[in-house]
């Protein structure tokens, strides 16, 4: 039987017209079913993506202003990130090496020993080149030039395959970053607690925390934690507009 969804008596169109939305904002939200995962998502997240997000968190600390809301501070931080032609993130991460040539070289692993490294991102037009350098015994280095991924050990090329590398587009604004993060199963939330701005993931897979002193206007720390509270990534320093490294 077809349901009658009409009103039995005519209602007042003048009132309904008054209530009808004319300035409804639009949304860029998009929902896709998550793909099957081989391992917990926080482990599969690219170290580069995590580092880039931590970079955002770090800049929050640098540009923190007392009168701004957390969201405003983040927006400004992202603008600064985009306006910089290059930046270099010095980090310490707990990672294990993968022998699978199709996999990421270093996989975030809360049981692994901490290793230091850097992520250098350099924008050239619409493309972003990225280099990850690890302070391991083989002096491992990974290069993404927007088309190809190359892995070097002791200065020798050991792997080359097509790879688009990191896309900086999501970092253009919070509105673009949120769906990007959501596609990785993360939902970024920005909140202030006293002197601290915390960027966290509501799905509890990864928590990125940047702490800074508003009163002093300087970064105190930035780190990425697993659900069991193990710090897997710490940003030690971030430099902007750095000259290219070798």
Partner 1 sequence: MKLTTENKQLTRLAELMQSERNDLFRYACYRLGSATEADDVVQDLYLRLSKQGARLAEIEDLKGYVYRSLTNSCTSALRSRRQFASTETLDNLSSDDLAPKDFEQEFRLIERLMALLPDEQSEVIRLRIYGGRQFDEIASICNIPLTTAKSRFRYGIDKLREALEKRGLI
Q: What residues make contact with partner 1 under the rule CB under 8 A?
A: 3, 5, 7-9, 11-12, 14-16, 18-27, 29-34, 36, 71, 175, 178, 182, 185, 187, 189, 202-203
Give the residue from 138, 169, 171 showing the smallest Cα distance to 56.
171
Instruction: Report the nearest approach of partner 1 to the CB of residue 193 (Å).
Output: 15
CA-CA distance, 169 to 158, in Å (whole number)?
Answer: 30
Closest to partner 1 by CB, 28 or 126: 28
CA-CA distance, 204 to 101, in Å (whole number)?
Answer: 30
Closest to partner 1 by CB, 175 or 241: 175
Closest to partner 1 by CB, 14 or 246: 14
Instruction: Kindly state the greatest CA–CA separation across the chain.
Output: 82
Closest to partner 1 by CB, 146 or 185: 185
If DSSP states are collapsed to H, E and C, what string results for 119-147?
EEEEEECCEEEEEEEECCCCCCEEEECCC
Instruction: Report the nearest approach of partner 1 to the CB of residue 62 (Å).
Output: 23
Instruction: Report the nearest approach of partner 1 to the CB of residue 37 (Å).
Output: 11
Q: Dihedral sign, CA of 145, 99, 141, 47?
A: positive
Instruction: Report the nearest approach of partner 1 to the CB of residue 17 (Å).
Output: 10
């Amino acid at each position: 039987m077809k349901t009658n969804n009409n009103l039995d008596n005519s209602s007042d169109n003048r009132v309904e017209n008054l209530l009808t939305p004319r300035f409804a904002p639009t949304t860029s939200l998009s929902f896709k079913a998550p793909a099957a995962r081989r391992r917990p998502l926080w482990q599969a997240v690219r170290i580069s993506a995590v580092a880039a997000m931590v970079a955002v968190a770090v800049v929050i600390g640098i540009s923190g202003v007392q009168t701004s809301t957390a969201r405003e501070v983040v927006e400004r931080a992202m603008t600064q990130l985009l306006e910089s032609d290059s930046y270099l993130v010095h980090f310490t991460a707990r990672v294990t090496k993968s022998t699978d040539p199709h996999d990421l070289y270093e996989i975030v692993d809360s049981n692994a020993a901490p290793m230091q490294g850097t992520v250098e991102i350099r924008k050239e037009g619409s493309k972003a080149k990225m280099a990850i350098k690890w302070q391991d015994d083989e002096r491992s280095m990974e290069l993404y030039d927007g088309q190809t991924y190359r892995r070097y050990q002791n200065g020798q090329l050991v792997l080359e395959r097509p790879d688009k590398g990191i896309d900086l587009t999501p970092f253009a604004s919070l509105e673009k970053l949120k769906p990007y993060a959501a596609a990785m199963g993360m939902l970024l939330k920005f909140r202030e607690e006293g002197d601290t701005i915390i960027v966290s993931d509501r799905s509890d897979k990864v928590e990125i925390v940047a702490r800074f002193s508003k009163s002093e206007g300087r970064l105190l720390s930035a780190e990425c934690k697993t659900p069991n509270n193990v710090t897997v990534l710490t940003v030690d320093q971030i430099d902007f507009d750095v000259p290219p490294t070798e």
